Structure 1
């Protein structure tokens, strides 16, 4: 075939029409007899173009459909394993992940376990997986974890919608010594339920107010949470957080004057209880002796086993005598509880444990006095001597009576759904109970202490005996009554009054007018209107304040006098209004209730997130990256969003993220 002629008809064009006849006709030569000629190649290509079933994308889908399913099965297996490990807070990787490793890490181990139960997984995921598409590498695990965690945060953001919200923030040091800041969002859901959600964990270089504020703003802006919608801030009493001029509180108030700060109620209660114990010498001495006794008994496993054996024998004797009743969960074996320096509620559990195991504790201390020598014997003798005194037993039961009341506050302040109005009410209730204990509880306490001493063979002094000299001479009963009992309760009441002096806070005072407790006893239309006018003008615009006043009139005639809405708290009231559809009828009042409920009460949720962080980032996993830790903690802490998450949708998002459509998408 002539190259020039071919070139002319294919590329350059042809105009020599004298050569179109005969055997050497240019057209005949162009067509040729070979299938590889230019003309025949073009004809074949044209025929293929006219047949859609032969197009390359159809061929790829027809040939690769089965391979795509295999790729998806491999990735789905990894996703399910990663999700379950994250929900349990377990480790992912092993030190040796080679094929012949005996401990390749949890991800590979659980995939291998699944393969033993499923032949398809064994064939596709393990034995026949290509080296570049096993979907088990650490980078793949992190990508999957990031997708799941981001979905959780997006779901929380979706629940908040356009509603206002509050932030709860605290810092703690992780196992690697890095400062971590936990950010919790508090909001009211569309169903009227007060909700607190763990949202982010950020590593910060320092804990200065400016650094923390920038980190918080970065988290909020990433998910389009506007500072203008911030209606509350909850921190502890540290100066970098709640400082009047340069704390995080003050910095946010400059950007949003309606982001009202509430000092954590649980932290305030902790400070109040510690302060009252420190200024009352007999009580501070009592707790020092109590800690010493518990430390001596719990110094070795052998002593703990002896303590439990003696206590079991005591329980068996009381069961036989009918002094206690058996039942499921009753009379379980336990031990003495050590108190924590930062959790005053733990002192209450220490007191209960030593009352419950008093006889066993005395026996163990007596055995130590006889068997040990030197320093240990001296400690045991001192502890044994102190525990068998009337003064110790008196203070033991006195503090039990007081902390029966204050422990209720500790538990109430740690509830996610507690609102600011209910919290103030709980404090007032505790003050009344303490005052009642002071006025009416002395005789009952003295009888209880004497009965306990008689049961455990402890000498009870003559309460009418004189004590002191000269003008200070009094009876022993007078000393215990006024210098111990009354003084201790007075210190407790005094510190509670100083730490929880909410009467001067107008926001909380006006918010109490919405409280439905005791058949809306505190309801006041004027105060509710002032609450919206003074503290939430940003949320009631135009004629809405006028409409709110009209709504309050109908609300007072309908809801306030309706037995159906006679509930115990503001949170339950809103739930009831939403349930009955009255939130649409009283739209503005419900908006105001939501704003009040958004105010934080305590930072207990941040403390729980730090407990979860210790579970996830342990001493053996202290090299965990900050982003990986935050994703693990999000899944571990907010597991209800993760349990029902669809793996196929995660695969599709994974494919889009890394453009793996050919491998993972049909």
Structure 2
């Protein structure tokens, strides 16, 4: 960058210089990284520390593991430092533990000083017997595992959805419809065109409000496998564009380029115009409208643990209220939607039959209303609450709640001597006599 020095180097230096070669540059980078890690090690001193670990594949398809250290430095400030990225041959718990231990051991960071572990919810990480967190706990019983609350919620709600087969089938159909519509730019354009016509009609009839930001033309969003909030966004877009989507599918049935396209569109249209699809669409919209608020709240950077637990408790209360009082309101709303879109309503008092046409296998015959009230509505909410209880009721939650006694906000408002005794006796007996 310095022209005078650059001229001297380029003109007078010997032509066998190697400092621009990739090997030399890698050596320089390696020296710098070692100096940075040595600086971090000096910051830690003799303090206890926590590790945050995650692994992912890079562009060359190699598994890479990132290690972050969290600690209070020698001056009393909380620090979080990216410490190393390590290539691992596989992602078994034993391999990850060995690589982490080696990376820490090279800088004289001992496992017995570890006081916390933070990983995702994969079985190789959180397994109670052979997971990474369990292996470290065997070496240091105070290295408690804490799982990200927002990620916990994603896993909890996704697992709950998979337990009820009719809801699993619904999301499978929803995903297929979204993929079918979004697969072609032409269908995308037809969807936007149908939306413009529908929105103009609804504004003219007063069914939609007008104003800045209202009535924008959107896209049909795909539900994601790991991001629960994307499922809620997909449901919202389907409800908002239901009429437009059916119009596009009808056009595909009539004018599709091939039999396979016409057949696929016909199957999607039949699914969308069924009472079962409409009922579960609006049921999951209500459930996920409640849980989505919790999901967003848990991802706030400034959230403290007591607030997080309050959010979880409030969500469970709202779900309980929905289960006790919400079925009749939901059914009434679904009936209005069915009338609006000319969808055949089943007789609620009729005997329920499964999709095979055979009588539902119960000792006593059940009605259609009983099936939707208890086998779908109540079961879906029950699984949600059950998963929330399972994911947010463990030792780590108690540890974090007790730790709030040391929260310095508002002049140590939450200070509690009993909680500090409990922390020392139950969780940090290695550090206190």
Provide the TM-score with structure 2 as the length reference: 0.79
Rounded to whole Å, the distance in 2 between the matches of 1:480 and 1:69 is: 78
Matched with 2:187 is 303
Deviation at 1:146? 5.3
After TM superposition, the structure 1 stretch with the greater mean CA deviation from structure 2, 256-265 or 184-193, is 184-193
Answer yes or no: is the 8 Å Cα contact 2:68–2:81 preserved in 1. Answer: yes
Rounded to whole Å, the distance in 1 between the matches of 2:215 and 2:45 is: 49
Rounded to whole Å, the distance in 1 between the matches of 2:318 and 2:240 is: 24
User: What are the superposed Cα offsets for residues 575-615 of structure 1, whole Å, 9 maximum, x if unpaired?
Assistant: xxxxxxxxxxxxxxxxxxxxxxxxxxxxxxxxxxxxxxxxx
- 1:383 lines up with 2:254 in the alignment: no
Please, which of 261, 264, 284 is the counterpart of residue 145 of structure 2?
261
Deviation at 1:207? 2.9
Deviation at 1:310? 2.5
Matched with 2:365 is 472
Deviation at 1:387? 1.0
CA distance 1:257–1:494, change in 2 (3 Å): closer
Matched with 1:407 is 292
Matched with 1:347 is 231
Rounded to whole Å, the distance in 1 between the matches of 2:211 and 2:40 is: 46
From the CA coordinates, give the structure whose radius of gyration is larger: 1
Please, which of 77, 86, 102 is the counterpart of residue 218 of structure 1?
102
CA distance 1:366–1:246, change in 2 (3 Å): closer
1:325-336 equivalences in 2 (<5 Å): 325-327=210-212, 332-336=216-220
Which has the higher relative contact order, 1 or 2, with Cα contacts under 8 A spaced 6 or more apart? 1
Matched with 2:356 is none
Query: Any idea what SS the aligned residue of 1:167 has?
Result: strand
- 1:272 lines up with 2:156 in the alignment: yes
User: What are the superposed Cα offsets for residues 106-131 of structure 1, whole Å, 9 maximum, x if unpaired?
Assistant: xxxxxxxxxxxxxxxxxx69997976
Please, which of 46, 55, 71 is the counterpart of residue 171 of structure 1?
55
Provide structure 2 residue ranges, at least 5 long, that are not aligned to the other structure.
353-358
CA distance 1:223–1:404, change in 2 (3 Å): farther
- 1:292 lines up with 2:176 in the alignment: yes
After TM superposition, the structure 1 stretch with the greater mean CA deviation from structure 2, 505-514 or 208-217, is 505-514
Deviation at 1:243? 4.2
Matched with 2:385 is 493
Answer yes or no: is the 8 Å Cα contact 2:146–2:396 preserved in 1. Answer: no
- 1:70 lines up with 2:4 in the alignment: yes
Rounded to whole Å, the distance in 2 between the matches of 1:367 and 1:177 is: 42
Deviation at 1:197? 4.8
Matched with 1:7 is none
Answer yes or no: is the 8 Å Cα contact 1:194–1:416 preserved in 2. Answer: no
Query: Any idea what SS the aligned residue of 1:467 has?
Result: coil
- 1:482 lines up with 2:374 in the alignment: yes
Rounded to whole Å, the distance in 2 between the matches of 1:222 and 1:176 is: 27
Matched with 2:67 is 183
- 1:442 lines up with 2:353 in the alignment: no
CA distance 1:153–1:459, change in 2 (3 Å): same
- 1:529 lines up with 2:421 in the alignment: yes
CA distance 1:318–1:239, change in 2 (3 Å): closer
Rounded to whole Å, the distance in 2 between the matches of 1:230 and 1:151 is: 22
Matched with 2:89 is 205
Query: Any idea what SS the aligned residue of 1:472 has?
Result: coil
Please, which of 108, 115, 135 is the counterpart of residue 231 of structure 1?
115
Rounded to whole Å, the distance in 1 between the matches of 2:27 and 2:88 is: 23
Deviation at 1:232? 0.7
User: What are the superposed Cα offsets for residues 332-380 of structure 1, whole Å, 9 maximum, x if unpaired?
Assistant: 5432222233434432222122122222211110110001231211110
Provide the TM-score with structure 1 as the length reference: 0.54
Matched with 2:355 is none
Answer yes or no: is the 8 Å Cα contact 2:275–2:346 preserved in 1. Answer: no
Query: Any idea what SS the aligned residue of 1:184 has?
Result: strand
Query: Any idea what SS the aligned residue of 2:223 has?
Result: coil
Deviation at 1:465? 4.4
Deviation at 1:151? 7.1
CA distance 1:198–1:400, change in 2 (3 Å): farther
Answer yes or no: is the 8 Å Cα contact 1:242–1:249 preserved in 2. Answer: yes
Rounded to whole Å, the distance in 2 between the matches of 1:216 and 1:297 is: 46
After TM superposition, the structure 1 stretch with the greater mean CA deviation from structure 2, 149-158 or 209-218, is 149-158
Answer yes or no: is the 8 Å Cα contact 2:136–2:143 preserved in 1. Answer: yes
Matched with 1:429 is 314
Answer yes or no: is the 8 Å Cα contact 1:421–1:515 preserved in 2. Answer: no
Rounded to whole Å, the distance in 2 between the matches of 1:500 and 1:521 is: 25
CA distance 1:523–1:484, change in 2 (3 Å): farther
Query: Any idea what SS the aligned residue of 2:146 has?
Result: strand
Deviation at 1:165? 2.8
- Bigger helix fraction: 1
